Homo-oligomer: A and B are copies of this chain.
Amino acid sequence: MPKKRGIVAGVDLGGTSIKAIVADRNYKILATGKKRTDAGVKAKALIHEIARVVEQAAADAGVKVKSLAAVSIGAPGAIDVKRGVVTEAPNLGWRNVPLGEGLRSRLGVPVVVDNDVNVGVMGEHALGAGARVAQLVGIFVGTGIGGGIICNGELYEGGHGWAGELGHTVLLADGPVCSCGRRGCAEALASRTAMERDVRDAVKSGRKSAVFDIMDERKKDRMTSSIIQVALAKEDPVMKEVMKRAQYYLGILVANVVNAFDPERVIVGGGIAERLGEDFVKPIRETAQEYFLHAKAVKGVKILPGKLGDDAGALGAVVLARKRLGL
């Protein structure tokens, strides 16, 4: 059954949801599945949930789980890629969880594990805005800021599997405190979390903003990408200002990456990029170009929003499995 052996399930494991895609050899999506997860659920239970989402998606695709060529998963944290172990995932509260082995023993097929942003970048590289160029950097802006590097056409894992943590490059020494406990990281300046902090601080200090009314209306307790989109559509002055500042820092981050790594393309992905597209990326590009060392980089390096949206991670996981297992 050579045809079925080419079918792979890709999973994007986020802090709040599991997304699975079952795709054939040509990356045609046969079925998808999604499930919200509870914060604080134990690792064993969450692995069980992941297995169930994969089983359901496989059933929807008319494929037996056992006949999948692989299940491939991107998880939010530091991964021991060879052993398939999530060594540290603060968002999940995980430490040294053998995710690969847990899924393999439940599903009976080969399992591949990597970092969620790495697989998202692989997805954009192979199937999205990355156009399979040899040198590419992806920057995903969401609750945090993650990054991934494609070097000579392959995912670059680094010396210990930790490469690509572009959200924790310091852009403003001694700047605001970051989730990692240090100061002035890109994530502390330009993530959705940083933007929400800045909006709250502005309102606390007396500025007027509709952001919290919009959040109340939509019953959100966090400033999600959709809230940002609505607030910008209403021309909320605080939201516009906070977004502009975040884009400025993201532009500097992109320039740092370009000056250090000289990629052919930089893909800006994640929830905000998915919703705002070019409106989000254009000011980032403009600042980045001002900070390029080599004038020719303005023409030579394309800075683009991601194309795959929410599918980048799960599709990228499928790409990863094909590469890693030679499928």
Interface residues of A (CB under 8 A from B): 78, 88, 133-135, 147, 149, 151-152, 156-166, 168-173, 175, 180, 182, 248-249, 252, 255-257, 259-264, 290-291, 293-294, 296-297, 300-301
Nearest first, the 7 A-B pairs at minimum CB distance are A158-B262, A163-B262, A159-B264, A135-B159, A169-B256, A165-B259, A162-B262
The reply to whether A260 and B164 form a contact with Cβ atoms under 8 Å apart is: yes
List chain B residues, Cβ under 8 A from A182: 290-291
Give me 5 other A-B pairs in contact (C-beta within 8 A), A78-B294, A170-B171 excluded: A135-B158, A158-B262, A159-B301, A168-B259, A173-B252
CA distance A225 to B291 in the complex (A): 29
Residue of B at shortest CB range from A137?
B260
Q: How far is A249 from B172 in the complex, measured between Cα atoms in Å?
A: 11
22 A/B residue pairs, CB under 8 Å, sorted by A: A147-B260, A151-B151, A157-B262, A159-B263, A159-B301, A160-B262, A160-B294, A162-B293, A162-B294, A163-B261, A163-B262, A165-B294, A169-B256, A170-B252, A170-B255, A170-B256, A170-B291, A173-B252, A182-B291, A256-B256, A260-B260, A260-B261
Chain B residues lying within 8 Å of A152, measured Cβ to Cβ, are: 151-152
Known contacts A159-B300, A293-B180; is-contact A169 B262 (Cβ 8 Å): no
- In the assembled complex, the Cα of A172 lies from the Cα of B88 at a distance in Å of 29
Given A158-B135, A290-B182, A260–B170 Cβ distance below 8 Å?
no
By a CB distance below 8 angstroms, the chain B residues around A294 are 78, 88, 160, 162, 165
Closest to A136 in B: B159
Identity of the chain B residue whose Cβ is nearest the Cβ of A264 in the assembled complex: B159
- Which residues on the B side are within 8 Å of A135 (C-beta)? 158-159
Residues of B within 8 A of A78 (CB): 294
The distance in angstroms between the C-alpha atoms of A175 and B252, with both chains bound, is 13
Instruction: State which of B88, B134, B260 has its C-beta within 8 Å of the C-beta of A169.
Output: B260
Residues in B neighbouring A256, C-beta threshold 8 A: 169-170, 256
Determine if A159 and B172 form an interchain contact, defined as CB atoms under 8 angstroms apart: no
Whether B297 pairs with A160 at a CB distance below 8 angstroms is: yes
Kindly state the separation between the CA atoms of A69 and B51 in the bound complex, as whole angstroms. Answer: 60
Q: Is the CB of B151 within 8 A of A134?
A: no
Which residues of the partner chain B approach A172 to less than 8 Å between Cβ atoms? 172-173
* Assembled-state Cα–Cα distance A135/B163 (Å): 11
Instruction: Say which residue of B166, B248, B260 sits within 8 Å of A166 (CB atoms).
Output: B260
Which residues of B sit under 8 angstroms from A290, Cβ to Cβ?
182
Among A88, A158, A249, A260: residue with most chain B CB under 10 A:
A260
Cα A180 to Cα B164 in complex, Å, equals 26
- Of B88, B260, B264, B293, which one neighbours A257 at CB under 8 angstroms? B260
